[in-house]
Amino acid sequence: MLYALYYRRISLLASARFLCIIIQYLNKIMSKNLSKIFFVGLTGEKLNDLLLKINEAENFGLKDVSLFLEFFKKAERDKIYESLLASKIKNIPLVHIRHDFEKDELNFLKNKFKTKYFTIHESSFARDDIKKWKGFYKKLYLEMNFDNFVSNKVNVEKIGGFCVDLSHFKVGMEKLSRDFEYVFNKKGDIKYFDCNHLNGYNLKTNCDMHTINNLSDFDYLKTLPKFLFGKCIALETFNSVREQMEFKKYLSKILK
């Protein structure tokens, strides 16, 4: 038993080293300018949190942002939309949606705010939520979990592609998990990698971070293959808009 565990560990270490070599090679042949595609994220766990972020974005004169609505039921979302319509915000390329969205709500966001990327969880496949979004399949983008499980209902080929949550990918990469493998196995086809969620990463706990305490919480990004980075990268942190604008400067610097 001990020998089996030992050899499994050796095998995992060898796989990890080989993976690093592959990533270094991919980064050499796939160059991307990432500096112009970061979007401040309007986030929050409570309605007032998100409304305050809209006001802060308004104060800074922002016209382009991303929007995360995972925590909000329809009545709360209607208040968010009312606030957005009264603001100077004109373009919301990426919106993170939840299971209770209907197609008319997707149409509203597409028509009023030019939304191109609607990001969903694996559960939207497992629960068959996506069936009610027929007609929007190629505007849906899948965010993987990091629980080492991928339902056999998950089918990224049916939709627009992945919304790679970069910290989730990092967690999976360290574990060589099934979630990580599902994404990494598509590395040869760039059409699947159009957009991202971006937050921090804790090296000690191998976990994602949605409140950034130090700019170094983003340094893990330098270890990731560049094919993951899409055309639209949405900051998914609970930090203020002011702080996120500072994050964008740092991210543009480290991801040249």
- Res 33: pLDDT: 57
Write phi, then psi, for 196 (nearest 5 degrees).
-145, 155
Tokens standing for 41?
A: 């994220």
Residue 5 binned pLDDT confidence (cut-offs 50, 70, 90) = very low
Amino acid at 56: E
- Res 175: pLDDT: 95
Using CB atoms within 10 A of its CB, is residue 195 exposed (0-12), middle (13-18) or buried (19+)?
A: buried
Residue 105 has pLDDT above 60, yes or no: yes
When pLDDT is averaged across residues 223-247 and rounded to a whole number, the result is 97
When pLDDT is averaged across residues 72-87 and rounded to a whole number, the result is 98
How many angstroms separate the CA atoms of 47 and 53, rounded? 10
When pLDDT is averaged across residues 159-178 and rounded to a whole number, the result is 97
The three-state DSSP-derived secondary structure of the chain is CHHHHHHHHHHHHHHHHHHHHHHHHHHHHCCCCCCCCEECEECCCCHHHHHHHHHHHHHCCCCECEEECCCCCHHHHHHHHHHHHCCCCCECCEEECCCCCCHHHHHHHHHHHCCCEEEEECHHHHCCHHHHHCCCHHHEEEECCCCCCCCCCCCHHHCCEEEEEHHHHHHHHHHCCHHHHHHHCCCCCHHHEEEEEECEEECCCCEEECCCCCHHHHHHHHHCCHHHCCCEEEECCCCCHHHHHHHHHHHHHHCC
Residue 150 binned pLDDT confidence (cut-offs 50, 70, 90) = very high
Q: CA gyration radius for the chain?
A: 19
- Residue pLDDT, tens place only, 174-204: 999 999 999 999 999 999 999 999 999 999 9
Considering the four listed CATH numbers 1.10.10, 1.10.3470, 3.20.20, 2.40.50, the one that applies to the domain covering 34-254 is 3.20.20
Q: Is the C-alpha dihedral spanning 62, 218, 114, 50 positive or negative?
A: negative
What pTM was estimated for this model as a whole?
0.88
Q: What percent of the chain has pLDDT over 70?
A: 86
Domain ranges of the chain: 1-30, 34-254
Encode 76-90: b = buried (16+ Cβ within 10 Å), e = exposed: ebeebbebbeeeebe
Residue 256 binned pLDDT confidence (cut-offs 50, 70, 90) = confident
When pLDDT is averaged across residues 11-18 and rounded to a whole number, the result is 54
How many angstroms separate the CA atoms of 171 and 177, rounded? 9
- Res 95: pLDDT: 98
Phi-psi region of 237 (alpha: psi -120 to 50; beta: other; left: phi over 0): beta
